[in-house]
Amino acid sequence: MGAEQSTVEVAMLEEPRGGGAVTEDATTAGAEAAESMPAARPAWAPVLLGLAGGLLVAVLGSGWAAWVAAAGLAAAGVAAGREAAAAQRARDDAWSKRLAEYRAQLEARSSDDGVAALCGGVVPIWRRHIESTRRHTEEEVSALTARFSDINGRLDGALAASRGNAGGDGGAVSVLEECREELNGVLETLHQSLIAKQELLSQISDLACFTEEMQGMADTVSAVAAQTNLLALNAAIEAARAGDHGRGFAVVADEVRSLSDQSGEAGKRIAEKVATVNGAILATLEAAERYEREDKVSVSGAEEAIRRVVERYREVTEGLEHSADLLRRESDGVREEVEGVIVALQFQDRVGQILSHIEEDMDALTDALESDDPPDVDAWLVNLEGRYTTPEQYINHRGDEATDSPSGGITFF
């Protein structure tokens, strides 16, 4: 292309001088012009011839006649010279005009051919550049979209995990509540156990009262035995005083006294056993009361320990929940931003379509440049507009003021 352009420029420069053209057309035309142009002849030749003739006549001749003839020849020579000069100027003007016309034609032809050749060479290159750019843009935008989609997916996963860890079913807060309920159940069981022990103590205390009554009953038995023994003794005395008639009664009195001795012995043993039992009951009661106090202290300590643990765990989970909530809010914000980016990346589809249409039109232009028939500009523009698919293409086609980026909408049929 550069070489062709230079040869055209050389032809344009060389042609007016009638030689040195390089291109085929320019060389032929220049040669024709050079051949048809007459050789330059000096306009002063007739004048010199007239003057020379007059001088010769004057030298060879003699008298005034010779001088008149010489003057006449000189005058004729000057007149002939003037005519020749005028004719030469006319021819020069005609050739100058022809050369100017030829130069204009040559320049016009060179200009049209140059633009066509330029377009034929550069348009396919532009088209390839656009196609390459469009392809690279699509690949990179697709990769960006995939990465942002992946980021969004990971954010969703992280948010779900955060919700699961901090709150909701199975979360830290939920586990805390479950632990608190279970520990409260344990404390309640301990309290119930304490109450049961108190009831047992009460029953043991009642037993202690019974042993006192039993001690009294044993004492009563001993007293009855002593009285009976005394009565048996009195009966034996009265039987001895009655002599032989009281002998049988004396035997009965002895037996009664023997029974009263046994009763007194039994009462004594009962009193001893009751005392032993009473001592055991008192010891048991004392031990139970001691255990109860210890249990109360233990339960109270356990309750306090559980309360502290639950409280500390609650503080930790609240902090965790607060952090998780903050993370969720931030993640929601990031996700919204990423979704915004993904939406914005849809520009590639619109740009790709617009560039595709430009590529198609460049192909059509390349075909038109190779055709002998000039393209119909109006039909071309109508065809171009008919292939538009985005609103901004219509706006650009009409040359209207650019508006904001288009936003989508939906129509239900």
Q: Which residues of 377-401 are buried (b: 16+ CB within 10 A; e: fewer)?
A: eeeeeeebeeebeeebbeeeeeeee
CB of 351 to other proteins, least distance (A): 10
Alpha-carbon dihedral angle through residues 352, 353, 357, 358, given to the nearest 10 degrees: -30
Q: Which residues contact 391 (CB under 8 A, 6 or more apart)?
A: 406
For residues 150 and 376, which CB has a smaller minimum distance to other proteins in the complex? 150
For residues 64 and 412, which CB has a smaller minimum distance to other proteins in the complex? 412
- For other proteins, the binding residue among 146, 160, 240, 309 (CB under 8 A) is 146
CB of 392 to other proteins, least distance (A): 9
Q: Are 324 and 166 in contact (CB under 8 A)?
A: yes
409 binds other proteins (CB under 8 A): yes
CB of 129 to other proteins, least distance (A): 21
Q: Are 51 and 69 in contact (CB under 8 A)?
A: no
What character string, x for contact with other proteins (CB under 8 A) and - otherwise, covers 152-181? xx--x-------------------------
CB of 410 to other proteins, least distance (A): 5
Site for other proteins in 386-405 (CB under 8 A): 389-391
For residues 254 and 360, which CB has a smaller minimum distance to other proteins in the complex? 360
Read off the amino acid at residue 291.
Y
Q: Which H/E stretch holds residue 163?
A: helix 63-166
CA angle 139, 143, 146 (to 5 degrees): 140
For residues 349 and 376, which CB has a smaller minimum distance to other proteins in the complex? 349
234 binds other proteins (CB under 8 A): no
Tell whether the torsion through CA atoms of 329, 333, 338 and 342 is positive or negative. positive
Site for other proteins in 326-355 (CB under 8 A): 339, 342-350, 352-353
For binding to other proteins (CB under 8 A), which residues are involved?
138, 141-142, 144-146, 149, 152-153, 156, 339, 342-350, 352-353, 389-391, 406-413
